[in-house]
């Protein structure tokens, strides 16, 4: 398991440079450098299901540039760290594609943390360090989920913050299992837990389970645990006292729980069923480990009962099946709240340790082979799925056509299959000319397609509609001598302020899902909506979702705004002072 030859080679002066080049840290630095180079140009991405989810990062970055603070100035269903990291990376690489910026921005945090882990592990075994690093890079570099939500290959522009949580849990698991230096361990645990909290709070819950497992098993000392906790709460306190963001974030999560008041049990079953391909072998492995180690476990339990001690309790709980069971519980809890993720990738460091332990200590060749096969069956699915999906999406994009646009900046660097581009045109024409049919569907509470928001033609047409709406907004401003400073799109995503270098209203939620992610508007939200210069309403097609969303904000718009037809696919509520003739009269 240990590669002592690495240290011997490095000890020779004439091999120091070669050892440094071959080290995992050098590989990590090279990977980060290559990603930086890729972000200096705009690389078109094949459109994918729910592709508009990553446009939220553009909206957030624009709000941050205006001085808005997530949870303090606008409702956010997740933590604000991902938004800040995206904004920082976008400032450094303005030509980078938004999807790649959103997917890779977490490396600002995970890169240094995994680097510390490599620094510790490679002293004992360079091979082991590479075995931890390479899967981490696979999941971090390839922006794809482990689950399928559409039959056609395309980019996974959704569930990005869920992927980020899984990558952080991978780093945390690797540290808890392999890092021996207490200072590095405390630093990585604290850093990972802070990031988990401010990316998605359910990720922090999963992280706590991992940390408690390691602490109970004696893998992390009381001193390291206290140090990590002090760092964690010190950072939270600093953020709270300076911005008030920590308590506001918790308040947003509590409000979100009120909106999503369904039972947890069905979602747990859903998470288990969606990931059954790896959970079944992992569960069988857990049972195998339990029965294989039952005599030793029983003996340590009896000894701990006779003479209770911390060391005795650690020995009882430091069992591979205990670790694996706890990791599985943490993963199922986290995945129960997700749509799109890199589910259970953090099992890999533990599964690797289990295999290495049996290879080194087990006297039963049959048991070693069984454990190795089950661990492989649990570890491989996420890797193979992500690799396959990336290959299908990017190789299949060779024959794709670029979506034509004039106003979409880097957001418009998207391509799609010719047959789907043609379908998008046909469906858009139908939405415009057959409006009554789609109104009938909306009246019945039905979408035009059960998978409408995953349909590539919808996502393609949505971009075309946004592009046309920007032209219409500029034409309206030029014709009437006005300027819309605050633009509100009554839809899931609002890229207009970023596209037009304007402002989004404060207080309004980001990621507008009226059934899952928006609490009822309070007085501050209503006042902010009432003050917007223009509110856009998409109509291609009319849907029950957008109707529900409009119903939340319509009372705030009716008194001070007038509804107009902006384009065949967008209506608009224009603030009365900005309508034709009123600006001159009021000046």
What pLDDT is attached to residue 218? 93
Instruction: Find the DSSP H helices in 122-220.
Output: 126-141, 160-178, 182-199, 201-216
Residue of 146, 170, 145 lying closest to 158 (CA atoms): 145
362-394 per-position pLDDT tens digit: 778 999 999 999 999 999 999 999 999 999 999
Average pLDDT of the segment spanning 18-43: 91
What residues contact 449, with CB distance under 8 A and at least 6 apart? Answer: 455, 458
pLDDT surpassing 60 at residue 41: yes
Band (pLDDT 50/70/90 cuts) for residue 316 is confident
User: Is-contact 71 248, C-beta < 8 A?
Assistant: yes
99-151 per-position pLDDT tens digit: 999 999 999 999 999 999 999 999 999 999 999 999 999 999 999 999 988 99
Average pLDDT of the segment spanning 487-512: 96
Average pLDDT of the segment spanning 279-304: 90
Which range (75-89, 269-283, 461-475, 509-523) has the least confidence? 509-523
160-195 per-position pLDDT tens digit: 999 999 999 999 999 999 999 999 999 999 999 999
Instruction: Find the DSSP H helices in 481-570.
Output: 496-499, 523-530, 544-557
Length of the chain: 587
What pLDDT is attached to residue 13? 56
What pLDDT is attached to residue 17? 66
What pLDDT is attached to residue 361? 86
pLDDT surpassing 70 at residue 232: yes
Band (pLDDT 50/70/90 cuts) for residue 5 is very low
464-488 per-position pLDDT tens digit: 999 999 999 999 999 999 999 999 9
Burial class of 185 by CB neighbour count within 10 A (0 to 12, 13 to 18, 19+): buried
| Residue 248 per-residue DSSP state | H
Residue of 455, 464, 480 lying closest to 540 (CA atoms): 464
What pLDDT is attached to residue 202? 94
Q: What is the pTM of this model?
A: 0.94
Residue 574 three-state SS? strand
pLDDT surpassing 80 at residue 580: no
What pLDDT is attached to residue 10? 45
pLDDT surpassing 70 at residue 532: yes
| Residue 565 per-residue DSSP state | E
> Could you tell me the CA-to-CA distances from 333 to 41, 207, 329 in Å, in that order?
39, 11, 6
Would you kindly state where each structural domain of the chain is located, as residue ranges?
A: 142-399, 400-587
Average pLDDT of the segment spanning 26-39: 97
What pLDDT is attached to residue 237? 96
DSSP secondary structure letters along 435-474: HHHHHHHHHTT--SSTTGGG-HHHHHHHHHHHHHHHHHHH
For residues 431 and 583, give the distance between their C-alpha atoms in angstroms, rounded to a whole number: 34
E strand residue ranges, 5-80: 45-46
Kind of pairing between the strands at 487-489 and 534-538: parallel
What long-range pairs does 298-305 form, CB within 8 A, spacing at least 24? none
User: Is-contact 553 535, C-beta < 8 A?
Assistant: yes
194-216 per-position pLDDT tens digit: 999 999 999 999 999 999 999 99
What pLDDT is attached to residue 586? 34
Residue 414 three-state SS? strand
What pLDDT is attached to residue 585? 33
87-103 per-position pLDDT tens digit: 999 999 999 999 999 99
Band (pLDDT 50/70/90 cuts) for residue 312 is confident
Average pLDDT, the chain: 92
What pLDDT is attached to residue 290? 94
Instruction: Write phi, then psi, for 446 (nearest 5 degrees).
Output: -115, 145
Complete edge-to-edge strand list for the sheet that includes strand 401-402: 45-46, 414-416, 401-402
User: Is-contact 474 533, C-beta < 8 A?
Assistant: no
Band (pLDDT 50/70/90 cuts) for residue 262 is low
Q: How far apart are the first and last CA of the chain?
A: 79
């Amino acid at each position: 398991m240990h590669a002592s030859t690495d240290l011997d080679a490095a000890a020779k002066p004439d091999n120091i440079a070669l050892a440094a080049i071959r080290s995992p840290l050098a590989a990590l630095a090279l990977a980060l450098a290559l990603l930086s180079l890729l972000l200096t140009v705009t690389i078109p991405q094949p459109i994918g299901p729910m592709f508009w989810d990553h446009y939220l990062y553009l909206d957030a970055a624009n709000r941050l540039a205006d001085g808005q603070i997530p949870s303090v100035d606008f409702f956010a269903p997740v933590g604000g760290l991902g938004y800040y990291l995206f904004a920082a990376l976008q400032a450094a690489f303005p030509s980078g594609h938004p999807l790649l910026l959103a997917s890779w921005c977490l490396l600002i945090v995970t890169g240094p943390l995994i680097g510390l882990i490599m620094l510790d592990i490679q002293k004992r075994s360079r091979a082991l360090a590479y075995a931890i690093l390479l899967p981490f890079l696979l999941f971090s570099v390839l922006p794809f989920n482990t689950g399928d939500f559409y039959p056609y290959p395309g980019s996974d522009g959704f569930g990005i913050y869920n992927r980020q949580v899984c990558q952080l849990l991978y780093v945390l698991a690797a540290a808890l299992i392999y890092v021996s230096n207490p200072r590095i361990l405390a630093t990585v645990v604290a850093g990972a837990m802070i990031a988990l909290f401010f990316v998605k709070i359910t990720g922090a819950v999963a992280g706590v389970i991992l940390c408690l497992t390691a602490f109970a098993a004696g893998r992390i000392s009381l001193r390291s645990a206290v140090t990590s906790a002090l760092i964690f709460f010190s950072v939270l306190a600093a953020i709270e006292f300076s911005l008030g963001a920590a308590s506001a974030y918790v308040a947003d999560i509590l409000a979100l729980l009120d909106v999503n008041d369904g039972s947890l049990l069905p979602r747990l079953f859903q998470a288990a069923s969606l990931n059954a391909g790896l959970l079944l072998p992992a569960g069988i492995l857990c049972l195998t480990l339990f029965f294989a180690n039952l005599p030793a476990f029983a003996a340590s339990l009896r000894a701990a009962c006779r003479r209770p001690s911390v060391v005795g309790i650690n020995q009882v709980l430091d069992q591979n099946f205990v670790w694996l069971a706890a990791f599985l519980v943490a993963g199922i809890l986290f995945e129960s709240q997700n749509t799109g993720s890199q589910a259970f990738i953090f099992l890999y460091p533990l599964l690797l340790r289990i295999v290495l332990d049996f290879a080194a200590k087990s006297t039963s060749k049959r048991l070693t082979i069984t454990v190795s096969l089950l661990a492989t069956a649990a570890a491989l699915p996420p890797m193979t799925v992500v690799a396959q999906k990336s290959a299908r999406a990017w190789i299949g994009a060779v024959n794709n056509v670029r979506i034509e646009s004039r106003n979409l900046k880097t957001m418009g660097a998207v391509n799609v299959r010719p047959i789907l581009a043609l379908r998008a045109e046909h469906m858009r024409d139908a939405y415009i000319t057959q409006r009554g049919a789609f109104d009938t569907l909306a009246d019945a509470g039905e979408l035009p397609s059960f998978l409408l928001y995953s349909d590539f033609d919808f996502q393609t047409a949505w971009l075309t509609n946004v592009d046309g709406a920007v032209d219409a907004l500029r034409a309206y401003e030029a014709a009437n001598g006005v300027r819309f400073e605050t633009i509100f799109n009554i839809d899931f995503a609002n890229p207009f302020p970023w596209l037009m270098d304007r402002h989004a209203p404060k207080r309004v939620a980001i990621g507008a899902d009226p059934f899952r992610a928006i609490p009822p508007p309070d007085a501050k939200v209503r006042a902010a909506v009432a003050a917007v210069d223009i509110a856009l309403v998409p109509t291609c097609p009319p849907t029950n979702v957008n109707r529900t969303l409009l119903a939340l904000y319509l009372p705030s718009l009716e008194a001070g705004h007038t509804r107009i037809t902006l384009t065949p696919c967008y209506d608009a509520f224009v603030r009365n002072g900005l309508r034709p003739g009123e600006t001159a009269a009021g000046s």
